Chains A and B, each alone.
Chain A
Amino acid sequence: MVFSSAVFLFVFFPLMLVLYYLPGFSKDPQKDMAKKNLVLCLASLIFYAWGEPVYIVLMLISIFFNYNLGIDIENHKNSRKKRKNLLIFGVIFNLFMLGFFKYSGFIVENINAVTGNKIEYEGLPLPVGISFYTFQILSYVIDVYKGEVKAQKNLVAFGAYISMFPQLIAGPIVQYSDIERQLTSRTVTIEKFYDGIIYFIRGLGKKVLFANTIGSVYSQVIAEDISSLSVLSSWIAVICYTLQIYFDFSGYSDMAVGLGKMFGFEFVQNFNFPYKATSIKDFWSRWHISLSSWFRDYVYIPLGGNRKGTKRTIINTFIVWSLTGLWHGAAWNFIAWGMFYGVLLILEKYVLKDFLQKLPYAAKYIGTMIVVMIGWVFFSSANLGDAMTLIGSMVGFGGSFIDAQAKYLFSENIFLILVMSLSATGVFETAGNLLHGTKKKICYSVGYIAVFALCIAYLISETYNPFLYFRF
C-alpha cells in the first residue's frame, strides 16, 4: 500500500486511527500502550501485505528471527566470542535476505556476462521496503551487541518497530536507539497531531502535486530518442527529474514523519533542503540524512573512519559510497553513481579544498547543483550507455541548442518548475516566516487544507480511464 492512494487515505488510515485510539481496554497506561503497539503492529503487517500478500511470511520470519537473536546476544553477556558469532550469523542472515531478493538477479547477470554461461533465474518481485527495514534491523542487532541498547523483550513492540508502516516503504531509516523509549512511552497532544497533519499533507502534496506531475514530463521526454535531444530539452528533462526525485522522496519522508506524529512518534528529519547545498559534503548532510548517518555509524566508523590516516580514509570513503550506490539499486549505474560521489567527496576534501573556499557563493552553489544533476542522470538512466548519451545531449551532441519541442516543454512547464524550485530551496519557507503567530497559523492551515483537497483531486484523476470503443 502507498500513502498516496485512496485505499490508504480513506479506508486503512481512518480505521487504524479508530482502533488505535479506541479507549477502554485498560486504564493502566502500560497495558494501553501494549494495545496501541498491537494495533500498530497488526495494521503494519496488513499494510505490508496489501501489495504482495505472500511476503508477509518474510516479514514474520525477520521479526521472529531478530527478536530471538537480540535476546540471545544479550543473554551471552559474558562470552564475547559467542556474542560475536551470533552477531555475524545475524548480519549474514539479514544481508542474505536482502541480497537474495534484491541482488540475485544482478549477481547472476554479471556471472553470466563474465563466464559466458547462461544461468537462468526468475526475477522475484522486490519485497516492499526490504532495503529500509533490513537496515533498521541491523542497527538494532549491532547496537544490542555493542551493549548500547537493551534487547527488546516485548515481541509486539519489536514487531511494531520493524514493520512500522509510516516508515516501512521509504524511510526514514529509524535507528533503534532513537526510538527505543518511544516504543513503550509516547504521548500525543493536540499540537503534535496538528503538526502531524500538516507534515502529512505537505508530504502528500510534494508527492502527488509536484513529483508525479513533473515526473511525467521527464518520462515523456526520455521516452524519445535521447541521442537527438536539443540542449534545452535535455536540460529540462534533467531538471524535471532532479525536482521529481527530491519531491518524491522527501514527500514520502514528510508523510512518514507526519503519520508518526499522529501516533505519538518523533522520527528523525530525513531531508534538510538539499538543493540549498553549496558543496557535495553539504549536499549529503542534507539529503536522505538517515541513510548517510546509518552508513556513517555502521560502516564508515567501524572501518576506522578517518582515524587511520589519509590512505585508509580514502579507501573507507570508497567502500561506503560504493555500498551507498548499490543500496539504491542492483545495477552498475547505481554503483557508478555512488563512486561518482565518492570521488567527488575525496576531491573536495583533499585536492580542491582551498580552491573551492575562495569561490563566490553563487559559483559554489551552481557548481554543486550541476554535479548533483549529473549524478541524477546516472541514477535515473536505464544503463551507463544511456546516461552518457543524455549527458552528451546536455552539452550539445544531440543537435540543436533549442528546438520546437524545447520551446513547448518550456512554455508548458516553466511555471511548475519555478514554483517547485522555489519550494525546494526553501524560499516559501522564508517568506512564510514574515508572518507571525495566529495569522501565520491560519494562513498555513487554510493553505494546507486546500493542498489536501487538490491532492485528492489529482489522486482520483489518475484513475480516470475513459473507455473509447468509439475511438475510430
Chain B
Amino acid sequence: MNSDKYDNINGGKTSEYSPAQRGAMISVAVILIFLMSIFGVAGLHILVDDKEFSESENRVLTDMPKLTFSGIFDGSFMKSFESYLTDQFPFRDKIISLKTYADRVVGKNEENGVYIGQDDFLFDSQSEYNEAQVKEITDAIVSFTKSNKGVKRAFLLAPNSSYIYSDKLPKHLEMPNQRDQIRNIYNLLKKDKSLTWVNVCSLFEKSVKENDTLLYYKTDHHWTTRAAKKVFNVLKEKWGLTTTGNIYENVEAEPKYNFYTVSATFQGTLSSTAGVHDAYDTVEICVPKKSEGTYVVNFESSSLKTPSLFFEEKLEQKNHYEVFLGGNYDKVIISTVSQSPNTLLLIKDSYANCMIPMLTPYFGKIVVLDPRYLTDSLDSIVKENDFTHILFLYNLNTFLEDTSLAQCLAS
C-alpha cells in the first residue's frame, strides 16, 4: 500500500528499490547526518578561530586551557576544557536563540529569571519586601533627614516596570503590588514631617492611562528619560526651584529642555539576561537649552574631570544606558556655572543618572553619591559642604535589595 504511493511519485513507474533497500538508504542517511553533525562541530571548532569576547554575553570567553599534569590530576583542566568547548561552540549565539524560541513555542515565558511579556516587554522579577529591613532603612533615612533640619529634603521612589506595565506580564503571573509597598515605605518616612514626597506611582499610572509616552525601556530595567522628566517636573514645582539670580535668568525665564535621541539600538540588561533579542529600545537624553560648557564633572575616585554629563563612547558598547554619567560611581561632584547658591546632595541608584542633567540649571553644585560604592563617610561629606537640598532617588527593587544605604546613613 505504502509502496504504491512512492511509486506514484516516480510517475507511476515501478520503483527501482525494494522497501528494504529504501529502509537501508534512510538508515545510511541518518547515520551520515548524525556523524557529520558530531564530527562537523569538532571540525568547525578547529577551523574557526576562537573568539575572545562575546558581545551578547558581555564577557571574555574561555580560551583553550593549557595541558598540564597537575591540571589533569585535580580535574581543573577538564573543567576549563568544557567551558572552552561550550564558549567557543560554533554559532553559539544563534543556537541560544533557537532555544529561547523553542521555549516560547511550548508556552514558556521565563528565561534566566526574566519574564517575557507582551509587545516585546521584558520584566525583571521584583525584590522581596522584607519588613525588618525596610524598617531599618527608613529609620536610618528619617534620623538622617531630621538631623538636617534647615535643608530641603525630598524622596523619590520609582516603581518598576513590572508594576506599571503589569498588563504586559505573562498571563497569570502576579507580582506584589508595588503601590502598596511604596505607600508603606512612605508612611514610615512620614515621621519626618517636612520630607517632600513625589507620588511617582500615581503620576505614572495616569501617564499609562493617557498612553502618552513609554516610561520604561522594554529591554532594560531602567526608566526612560521621559519618565524621569515627568518626575523631575513635579519635584521642581514642589521644591519651588527657580533660576532667579543665576545665569539662566538672563537667558530665559525658565530653562527649556530638549530631548535628543542618541541610540535606537539599545538592548539592555534584561535582553542580555534572557538571551532574547527581539526588540530595540531608543535612548534619549534630556538637556537644558544652552547648557553646553556650563558645568564641570569631577569623578573623585578616578580623578577624572570632564565638561560633560554624557559619555558618547558608551554608545559603542553594549550598555547604552551608561551614556548617562558613564555608569555608577561612588562620588561625583558637578560644579555648574549657574551661580545658583543652591547645593544639592543626591543619594541615588542608577535611575538618577538620566535625571542629573535636568537638575544642573538649579544648583551651583551637585554632589552625587551612590552608597553601593561609597567608602567615604557621609557625615564628613555633609559637614564639608553646605547643602541646601538633599534628594534621595531610588527604584523600588534596589531600595528593597540594597543594604548599603542604611549602612552609609548610619555611619
Chain A interface (Cβ < 8 Å from any Cβ of B): 5-7, 9-11, 13-14, 17, 50-54, 190-191, 193-194, 197-198, 201, 213, 404-405, 407-408, 410-416, 419, 436-439, 441-442, 445, 448-449, 452-454, 456-461, 463-472
In whole Å, how far is A443's beta carbon from the nearest beta carbon of chain B?
Answer: 10
User: Chain A: which residue is nearest B59 at the CB level?
Assistant: A467
Give how many A-B residue pairs fall within 8 Å (CB-CB).
Answer: 175
Cα A271 to Cα B5 in complex, Å, equals 36
Known: A11-B42, A442-B26. A404 touches B2 (CB 8 A): no
Indicate if B194 sits at the interface (CB-CB under 8 A). Answer: no
Partner of A468, one of B1, B42, B96, B269: B269
Selected interface stretch from B74-82, B129-137, B211-219, B280-288: B74-82
| The residue from A191, A410, A436, A466 contacting B57, defined by CB atoms under 8 A apart | A466
Contact (Cβ within 8 A) B99 A457: yes
Rounded to whole Å, the gap between the CB of B10 and the closest CB of chain A is 13
Bound-state CA distance A290–B22 (Å) is: 36
Q: How far is the CA of A416 from the CA of B108 in the complex (A)?
A: 9
- Per a CB cutoff under 8 Å, which of A412, A441, A466 touches B109? A412
Task: Show 10 A/B contacts (Cβ-Cβ < 8 Å), sorted by A.
Answer: A7-B81, A197-B31, A416-B108, A438-B19, A454-B102, A456-B95, A460-B96, A467-B58, A470-B58, A472-B328
A415 in contact with B86 given A441-B26, A466-B272 (CB within 8 Å): no
9-residue interface stretch from B33-41, B199-207, B297-305, B379-387 = B33-41
Whether A439 contacts B2 in the complex (CB less than 8 A), given A449-B33, A468-B58, comes out as: yes
Q: List which B65-90 residues lie within 8 A (CB) of chain A.
A: 72-75, 78, 81-83, 85-87, 89
Interface residues of A, dominant DSSP? helix
Asked whether B24 lies within 8 Å of A191 as measured between CB atoms, the reply is yes
Whether the pair B86, A6 counts as a contact (CB closer than 8 A) is yes
A213 CA to B99 CA, complexed, in Å: 12
A452 touching B37, Cβ below 8 Å: yes
B114 → chain A closest CB, angstroms: 10
B22 & A438 in contact (Cβ 8 Å cutoff): yes
Given A11-B42, A404-B174, A470-B319; A190-B24 close (CB under 8 Å): yes
Say how far B63's CB is from chain A's closest CB, in angstroms. Answer: 15
From A445, which residue of chain B is reached at the shortest CB distance? Answer: B30
Interface assignment of B312: CB less than 8 Å from any CB of chain A: no
Q: Is there contact, CB below 8 Å, between A468 and B273?
A: yes
On whether A436 and B2 interact (CB within 8 A), knowing A53-B75, A412-B110, A445-B26, the answer reads yes
Smallest CB gap from B109: residue in A: A412
B372 interface residue per 8 A CB criterion? yes
Report yes or no: A466 in contact with B58, Cβ–Cβ below 8 A.
Answer: yes
Which of chain B's residues have a CB closer than 8 A to the CB of A190? 24, 27-28, 31
Q: A408-B174, A472-B350 are in contact. Are A13 and B38 (CB under 8 A)?
A: yes
Q: Is the CB of A5 within 8 A of B34?
A: no
CB distance from A427 to the nearest CB of B (A): 17
For the complex, give the distance between the alpha carbons of A471 and B35 in Å: 42
- Asked if B269 and A470 make an inter-chain contact with CB atoms under 8 angstroms apart, the answer reads yes
Starting from the known contacts A414-B107, A449-B34, 13 additional A-B residue pairs (CB-CB under 8 Å) come to A6-B89, A14-B42, A190-B24, A194-B30, A407-B172, A408-B170, A416-B107, A442-B26, A459-B86, A460-B86, A461-B100, A465-B59, A468-B272
**B87's contact among A414, A416, A458, A463, by CB below 8 Å, is which?**
A463
Complex interface: chain A residues within 8 A of B112 (CB):
464, 466
Q: Which 7 A-B residue pairings sit nearest by Cβ, starting from the closest?
A: A467-B59, A194-B27, A404-B174, A461-B99, A463-B86, A407-B172, A457-B99
- On whether the beta carbons of B78 and A51 are closer than 8 Å, the reply is yes
**Residues of chain A within 8 A of B265, CB atoms compared:** none
In the assembled complex, the Cα of A193 lies from the Cα of B170 at a distance in Å of 44
**Nearest CB in chain B to that of A209: its residue:** B102
Point out the residues of chain B lying under 8 angstroms from A466, CB to CB: 56-59, 112, 272-273, 275
Docked-complex contact B45 and A10, CB < 8 angstroms: yes
Q: Which residues of B contact A416 (CB under 8 A)?
A: 106-108
Does B95 lie within 8 Å of A461, measured CB to CB? yes
Closest Cβ neighbor of A440 among chain B residues: B2
A197 touches B30 (CB 8 A): yes
B124 shortest CB reach to chain A, Å: 10
B327 touching A6 by the CB < 8 A rule?
A: no
Within 8 Å CB of A464, what residues of B? Answer: 57, 96, 112, 275
CB contact under 8 A between A412 and B24, given known A7-B85, A14-B39? no
Q: Is B321 an interface residue (CB 8 A)?
A: yes
Across the interface, do A460 and B3 meet the contact criterion of CB distance under 8 Å?
no
Closest A residue, CB atoms, query B88 = A6
B108 contacts A412, CB within 8 Å?
yes
A472 to B100, CA, bound (A): 24
Contact B174 A461 (CB under 8 A): no
Task: Give complex CA distance A52, B172 in Å.
Answer: 45
Given the known inter-chain contacts A10-B41, A456-B95, please indicate yes or no for A441 contacting B58, CB distance below 8 A: no
Whether the Cβ atoms of A197 and B99 lie closer than 8 Å is no
Q: Are A460 and B95 in contact (CB under 8 A)?
A: yes
Instruction: Specify which of A9, A10, A412 lies most central, judged by the most chain B CB atoms within 10 Å of its CB.
Output: A10
> In the complex the two chains form, what is the Cα distance from A52 to B6 in whole Å?
53
User: Is the CB–CB distance between B2 and A437 below 8 Å?
Assistant: yes
Bound-state CA distance A391–B124 (Å) is 32
Judged by a CB distance under 8 angstroms, whether B241 is at the interface is: no
| Alpha-carbon gap, A457 to B97, bound state (A) | 8
Contacts of A448 on B, CB cut-off 8 Å? 30
**Please, how many angstroms separate the alpha-carbon atoms of A414 and B109 in the complex?**
13
Nearest chain A residue, comparing its CB with the CB of B395 = A472
